[in-house]
Structure 1
């Protein structure tokens, strides 16, 4: 142990003294810490004694890590002899491993983990001189996007080390995965956050050394409470079963359910099973051996300074990995039993974390998200639910979300939630097994030809990403500058230009500035389901009406303040809540208690829950009194026979507002979305009734016309989503709807009419080929996500209307086989007839 002196020069402290020095900083002044790489080390204002000691410890580790990296022989010895050092066969081996672990502050199990953590040590040691918002000089930690010479030294040292190591021992500097991304083309820097839906999320923050005792005491108290509960259940099992049984019967009775004796026996058996499962969980928690959840978690608190929740999760992961290794060596006949044991243990830890924290997974996730740094990249091995997706998309802390699992669970609606908020979302099917940890540095690249995610990027990769991001910002800046331009077709000698209204799709007020900044003329579709995601439950329909009105009025106020003068007053089309499918916010789950969301959705849900529909209708009617651009439409109407039922409910909503003496727009009516074959064929009847707006939902219409499973409106070719909405049968129906609709609406003027009655709202409208075909068929209003508006507008401004009409006419007459051939035909004819390459970067980025 080094002698405690007034001054200690780090450059002369040897490896064996480093660990002791880190632990004995009181009264010591450090010399040699102001390496030209790390920046000055000085105590700032508001820094506590504990924080100051911690900063000095990281500087010691950083300086010694740099010395270690400058000695290839030391690095090579550590890698080649890692197993021997970890086994601690001699006192020197033990001392050497303690020194290595001291550089990274926590126990690591492999050379790969050690070097990964060593890079983090350098990051923690660096302080950069900068200025705050007030212009005052400050010292700050490196940001995610910062490059630094210390990291270049790290990269060079590891690359040099790898040249002297066999292939199987080399240290991998970065990991890359190809992803399927959204339509946004950009570069994002961030820190990874590994998130599993429905699993309690620990706040992964290391606790200070002096807090270890408190954390261990907390875990000890938790185990004691679990033991007391276990003893009580053992002695009072039947009492607990009967208590749960009576509570369940009362719950069912309050819901109007009447059970016969056989059904009561099933409920009683279910309550007994719940109690037995709780006893099993308590047994896992209280055991004192290596299988005990708390006993194993305590080791992570002591060794790695994890907080209690994090330690419980780490204990689970370690135990499961050990058992999986045992399983690979076990008798095949025993494997099904071990698989069940793994599942039971995982579920036990999940319940233990909930018991320890006293909170539901959603609450823990929200708390953890609030503590995340800005620039968080969420990695989820499974698809996110509606509420979770909205939570992450709306958070200013999150820049991107990468999900895994089945592709159909991460479909268009999921990506749309992020697109509308100018956030990135991407998909990688095998994310479950990918080596990502919370806190890893990440670069998400959807700007270059091959979208990818880079974990722990080298400095070379980071510098290249900076260049790409600057290019992406230039591209984005051009889009914003073009927002003021009209979407007018190219004028020719024999034909004037035609104005096309390009509206946008939004979900709430946060998306409005981005939408209008890209030149949207009003809102063609406002989805309201995300508004519901902000509610835990519906306490009353009056409070629901108030919530809806507040959210919508906030959005319309934002539209008024952000709109350019020439684009003010265009329709804002609010959609009745389209529940079902993948849109089932938590507060409406009771509507689906005995229903399949994939079959039960849209208009049918609204008609079965009239008070719910009227709450939204009343809010919209009130809103329309103050905002004249407000329009309203019903989604997923199965056929025109449902419209009289909605008219009755609409009238009841007006009557209730009249009785309440509340101001509302008395002459307002509602429109419909054409998303089914039946309703499409009834277009002449709908137009004759002057029902408007009339919005064609191309995604669901495509699915219904082609008899596709719910959500499958595209196919995957070479990693690219190609939607089926270009199939000839779909195109013929779209042409029929347009022709019949225009006849019923007296030829509206798309240049002057701010409440244009017919639109197409769906992914097709935001594609270059789709927009060409729709405009060529006669549609004059298209609604799409914000990112696509400038690109579609460029195509429109560079193409004469007669070219679009010619291409659409030829496509409808050609015996084309599938949607891909239609796309190819449109692309080729645009080159031939208009000299426009719609696949070039000008129209795609």
Structure 2
């Protein structure tokens, strides 16, 4: 381990917690030098090189499928979709066509892949669109993995990092981040990226402290340097002093970062109960969430059922999945979000056209109401499953009262069908909505008269309110869910819900932000729904709080003029844990 002068670097706090360890500077494996074509002639040479290319595609398809399974278990189906997209790139007929053409021109499979990949990536970059530029990076990542397979080399050397290392990198591809082992890796620090990038999302899901977007200053770190990463403050310290380490320990103690959830319910010091539930994207995550101490499921994303096959899942297939999760949680509430697909999550059997801005396009409840058969099949499956537990159904992307009323009419028809069949279901099934657009907040008083409950989807709510594409690295620092404008929308939603006696939770990533937990409690949220790995920290954070003090803090936060002011306010007022 090297020794040197203390140096403080600042970046974006991406995943909570702190870690101290030796730096492992990650240098991605790149493809090797160009190869000469073997001395074969004509059709024989072409056939050999094309076969090598196709074998590499099949190998990478299997590897990406494995990574997708791991990502679903760790972070849910939504985030695992990045690997599905990479698989689609591999199978793109245009890629194969161009590779084969270049092989026929005399290139090896390796050089043909290089040429084809660069052709497509450069074309995307030429459009001068930040979103498409990120897709160009995805194309190159897929191409690099293909080349390494063709050359018989491994795609990553992260496994060489010594136990307890801090991974230091310019950036990490999703396929690299998801392979990290939390018991072996201590933390992550990257030059690039934002809090909503896959590196950050996967780090949070795995419980790895992470700071991203540090910039070129991170290049100062050398292998073996002692590094302190503080994922709560966004600080990375090279050669920290004993005082730095003591400060990090103290901050983490105040943040309530303990190894396991307290038994039973999460209550503030003055007795207010706050439900802490789990966001899951696959049924096999239900057991994990329960072990972590979840009070229920605040968001069960149902999209995986539709994204994994070449046809829509039938009623009985869906019934089996929903019933499994409800039986796992028994009398604890489970909120299932109905199908939320669109231009960003296409399925082969629906005519979902590519859109320039899929987050503002044909998605969520809009798709469901246009495909009533698909929607009502899901509703019937959910109704039938409701006899196995405490089910609530939630509609995504509702922006207008008419959408909610149309969905309720579909639910009525689904009930009529089941009654005619003689199949039992919960007649009092709760139908609520995600509040994730400013329009829904402004209409919340009207929506609350028809919806049984609200759940705030603050990821999209922040994106739409702040006019920031959270997938665009160039503007990702502007994406701040703790922005006072967003907090005021949360407060308005709670007020509208309370006026009609409605329950209101939050299932966006803001719920797992330990700085923001006191404000969310003070605003009156009934439930905080987070990734399973964050249930214990959030429950412990709630246990350090006084509800009355949180209400006063929330009032002050709503008067703030910037997200930085909100953060500063919370940290000044951070209650000490009970002695």
Alignment of 1:499 with 2:273, yes or no, is: yes
CA distance in 1, matches of 2:21, 2:360: 38
The one of 456, 462, 487 equivalent to 2:266 is: 487
CA distance in 2, matches of 1:177, 1:500: 36
Alignment of 1:411 with 2:172, yes or no, is: no
Aligned to 2:299: 525
Aligned 8 A contact 2:255 2:541 in 1: no
Aligned 8 A contact 1:182 1:426 in 2: yes
CA distance in 2, matches of 1:382, 1:738: 39
Higher relative contact order by CA 8 Å / sep ≥ 6: 1 or 2?
2
Three-state SS of the structure 2 residue aligned to 1:598 is: helix
Aligned 8 A contact 2:192 2:213 in 1: no
Alignment of 1:779 with 2:525, yes or no, is: yes
Aligned 8 A contact 1:383 1:405 in 2: no
Aligned to 1:802: 548
Aligned 8 A contact 2:319 2:381 in 1: yes
Three-state SS of the structure 2 residue aligned to 1:541 is: coil
Alignment of 1:280 with 2:102, yes or no, is: yes
- C-alpha distance 677-712 of structure 1, shift in aligned 2 (>3 A): farther
- C-alpha distance 512-480 of structure 1, shift in aligned 2 (>3 A): farther
CA distance in 2, matches of 1:570, 1:380: 42
CA distance in 2, matches of 1:417, 1:770: 20
- C-alpha distance 823-378 of structure 1, shift in aligned 2 (>3 A): closer
Aligned 8 A contact 2:376 2:411 in 1: yes
- C-alpha distance 499-646 of structure 1, shift in aligned 2 (>3 A): same
Aligned to 2:333: 571
Query: What is the 5 A alignment of 1:55-66?
Result: none
Name the TM-score, length of structure 2 as normaliser.
0.64
Three-state SS of the structure 2 residue aligned to 1:632 is: strand
CA distance in 2, matches of 1:733, 1:803: 21
Aligned to 1:693: 453
CA distance in 2, matches of 1:475, 1:810: 20
- C-alpha distance 723-428 of structure 1, shift in aligned 2 (>3 A): closer
Return the offset for 1:633.
0.3
Aligned to 1:35: none
Aligned to 2:75: none
Aligned 8 A contact 1:603 1:638 in 2: no
Three-state SS of the structure 1 residue aligned to 2:262 is: helix
The one of 738, 743, 749 equivalent to 2:499 is: 743
Aligned 8 A contact 2:462 2:479 in 1: no
- C-alpha distance 763-745 of structure 1, shift in aligned 2 (>3 A): same
Aligned to 2:489: 733
CA distance in 2, matches of 1:699, 1:352: 31
Three-state SS of the structure 1 residue aligned to 2:408 is: helix
Return the offset for 1:725.
3.0
Name the TM-score, length of structure 1 as normaliser.
0.46
- C-alpha distance 183-556 of structure 1, shift in aligned 2 (>3 A): farther
RMSD after superposition = 5.9
Aligned 8 A contact 1:411 1:711 in 2: yes
Return the offset for 1:421.
5.1
CA distance in 2, matches of 1:398, 1:444: 16
Three-state SS of the structure 2 residue aligned to 1:670 is: strand
Query: What is the 5 A alignment of 1:122-141?
Result: none
- C-alpha distance 797-688 of structure 1, shift in aligned 2 (>3 A): same
- C-alpha distance 608-447 of structure 1, shift in aligned 2 (>3 A): same
List alignment gaps of at least 5 residues for structure 2.
Answer: 51-92, 119-135, 241-248
- C-alpha distance 397-191 of structure 1, shift in aligned 2 (>3 A): farther
CA distance in 2, matches of 1:611, 1:228: 47
Query: What is the 5 A alignment of 1:635-674?
Result: 635-654=396-415, 663-674=424-435
Query: What is the 5 A alignment of 1:423-822?
Result: 427=212, 446=229, 479-484=258-263, 486-491=265-270, 497-530=271-304, 535=308, 538-543=309-314, 545=315, 547-559=317-329, 569-580=331-342, 584=345, 591-593=352-354, 596-600=357-361, 601-626=363-388, 628-654=389-415, 663-689=424-450, 691-709=451-469, 723-727=480-484, 729-745=485-501, 757-812=503-558, 814=559, 816-822=560-566
Return the offset for 1:642.
1.1
Aligned 8 A contact 1:767 1:788 in 2: no
CA distance in 1, matches of 2:95, 2:286: 50
Aligned 8 A contact 2:16 2:208 in 1: no
Q: Which has the larger share of helix?
A: 1
Aligned 8 A contact 2:392 2:431 in 1: yes
Return the offset for 1:615.
4.3
Q: Deviations over 1:201-229 (max 9, x none)?
A: 99xxxxxxxxxxxxx9x977899634369
Three-state SS of the structure 1 residue aligned to 2:358 is: coil
Q: Greater shift after overlay, 647-656 or 776-785?
A: 647-656
Aligned 8 A contact 2:166 2:187 in 1: yes
- C-alpha distance 776-405 of structure 1, shift in aligned 2 (>3 A): closer
Query: What is the 5 A alignment of 1:322-341?
Result: none
Aligned to 1:823: 567
CA distance in 1, matches of 2:42, 2:170: 31
Query: What is the 5 A alignment of 1:80-229?
Result: 181-185=14-18, 225-227=44-46
Q: Deviations over 1:119-160 (max 9, x none)?
A: xxxxxxxxxxxxxxxxxxxxxxxxxxxxxxxxxxxx89xx9x
Aligned to 2:58: none
Q: Which has the larger radius of gyration?
A: 1
CA distance in 1, matches of 2:25, 2:316: 38
Return the offset for 1:726.
3.5
Aligned 8 A contact 1:223 1:285 in 2: no
Three-state SS of the structure 2 residue aligned to 1:407 is: coil
Q: Deviations over 1:322-352 (max 9, x none)?
A: xxxxxxxxxxxxxxxxxxxxx9xx99x9599
Q: Deviations over 1:596-639 (max 9, x none)?
A: 3232233223334444434433332232222x222110111122
Three-state SS of the structure 2 residue aligned to 1:578 is: coil
- C-alpha distance 177-738 of structure 1, shift in aligned 2 (>3 A): closer
CA distance in 2, matches of 1:508, 1:500: 25
CA distance in 2, matches of 1:194, 1:664: 56
List alignment gaps of at least 5 residues for structure 1.
Answer: 1-154, 160-175, 203-215, 232-270, 287-291, 295-311, 321-342, 358-363, 455-459, 462-469, 492-496, 561-568, 747-756
Aligned to 2:88: none
Q: Deviations over 1:629-670 (max 9, x none)?
A: 221101111221211232233344445556666554444242
Three-state SS of the structure 1 residue aligned to 2:516 is: helix
Q: Deviations over 1:438-460 (max 9, x none)?
A: xx999997568877799xxxxx9
Count of residue pairs brought into register by the alignment: 496
CA distance in 2, matches of 1:633, 1:471: 40
